[in-house]
Amino acid sequence: MWKILVVVAVTVVAIGGCKERPGKGEPGADLLKSRCGRCHPFDVKKNHTTKEEWEQTVTKMMGKGAVLNNDEKGVLVDFLVKYYHP
């Protein structure tokens, strides 16, 4: 009986800790994790309202050392607009 309780408890904890990331598997998600995640936690605040604001933010981060080429920047901005908006 105790083995069943342990399995149930572990399963509940594991499921509770697994939050599905928006766009998982998309190129923008990979860029967000690999490039932005070096300095920032994965939780992006939904405080940008326009594509232009995300472009400004990503450009600013590139100026501070984020490594993205122009194509990657476009993919990342489109991803942020799609999934991280108010």
pLDDT band for position 10 (50/70/90)?
A: very low
Enclosing domain of residue 65: 23-83
Q: Read off the pLDDT of residues 33-77 as tens digits, 9 standing for 90 and up.
A: 999 988 888 666 666 678 999 999 999 999 999 999 999 999 999
Instruction: Give me the CATH number covering residue 28.
Output: 1.10.760
The model carries a pTM of: 0.70
Distance between CA atoms of 77 and 58, rounded to whole angstroms?
7
The count of structural domains within the chain is 1
Q: Is residue 14 part of a domain?
A: no
**CB count in 10 Å sphere of residue 31:** 21
Q: Are 79 and 32 in contact (CB under 8 A)?
A: yes
